[in-house]
A = this chain, B = another copy of it.
Amino acid sequence: MEYPTNDRNKVKRLPKRGHYDQETIFGILDDAFLCHVGFEIAGQPYVIPTAYGRDGEVLYLHGSSKSRMIQHLATGAPLCLTVTHLDGLVLARSAFHHSMNYRSAVIFGTATLVEGEEKMHALEVISEQILKGRWAEVRQPNPTEMKATSVLRITIEQASAKIRTGPPGDEAEDYALPIWAGVVPAELTFQDPLPDPAMDQAHELPASVKALARK
């Protein structure tokens, strides 16, 4: 399925890097759990980093019930949710052709508050997006905690992905310059887990964390 394009989500600069199919966009979303959500209040844009989870065609956000972002988005205000993976520095022979390898997804839509069974489900989806398997290992939210938390369901109206891969592209005459060119790959990596000093016993490292460390 492709998202319909118009002026809002069409990739105009370097259109060959643009993608509108769900498979590509969902792939970018599924490789991350941190997004930047944009919204506007009285003409002022705000961009806030937050966790998310994808469940089919729906995205979930959560936050304090008192959060300005949550309260504002719950009114159905238009939002933009962007996820970016930096995959590498692209080092060309000319300053001009320096670039980055990246995969980004830009989502347009609106949100509604989620209650009841779907709310607990959404929290599990977000938790599983951050660390698969963790949800089942921990104490589940109690009614007080559920009340302190709000969950938003985002319906994706339109979306686009923009992807750059591969080596630098220089001007033809610059390839003869005696300058090293190439790509320095980059990725988010996880280091050895640090046990909470407050743990009163040496509990075994859980499967969720072991699986993360293997990546």
Chain A positions near chain B (C-beta within 8 angstroms)? 8, 12-13, 34, 36-40, 43-49, 51, 63-64, 66-68, 78-82, 84, 86, 88-89, 91-96, 98, 100, 102, 104, 106, 108, 123, 127, 130-131, 134-135, 137-142, 145, 148-149, 167-168, 170, 174-201, 203-206, 209, 212-213
Q: How far is the CA of A197 from the CA of B94 in the complex (A)?
A: 16
For the complex formed, measure the closest distance between the CB of A213 and the CB atoms of chain B, giving whole angstroms.
8
The answer to whether B89 touches A131 (Cβ under 8 A) is yes
The answer to whether A187 touches B184 (Cβ under 8 A) is no
B residues near A174, Cβ cutoff 8 Å? 139
Given A45-B80, A138-B95, decide whether A195 and B182 contact each other with a Cβ distance below 8 A.
yes
Q: How far is the CA of A100 from the CA of B51 in the complex (A)?
A: 9
**Interface-central residue, A38, A63, A82, by most chain B CB under 10 Å:** A38
The answer to whether A175 touches B198 (Cβ under 8 A) is yes
Residue of B nearest to A206 (CB): B180
Given A45-B79, A186-B190, decide whether A181 and B196 contact each other with a Cβ distance below 8 A.
yes
Give the residue of B141, B181, B209 whose beta carbon is less than 8 angstroms from that of A195.
B181
The answer to whether A197 touches B167 (Cβ under 8 A) is yes
Give the residue of B12, B100, B184 whose beta carbon is less than 8 angstroms from that of A193.
B184
The answer to whether B178 touches A203 (Cβ under 8 A) is yes
The answer to whether B47 touches A130 (Cβ under 8 A) is no
Q: How far is the CA of A68 from the CA of B14 in the complex (A)?
A: 12
The answer to whether B95 touches A131 (Cβ under 8 A) is no
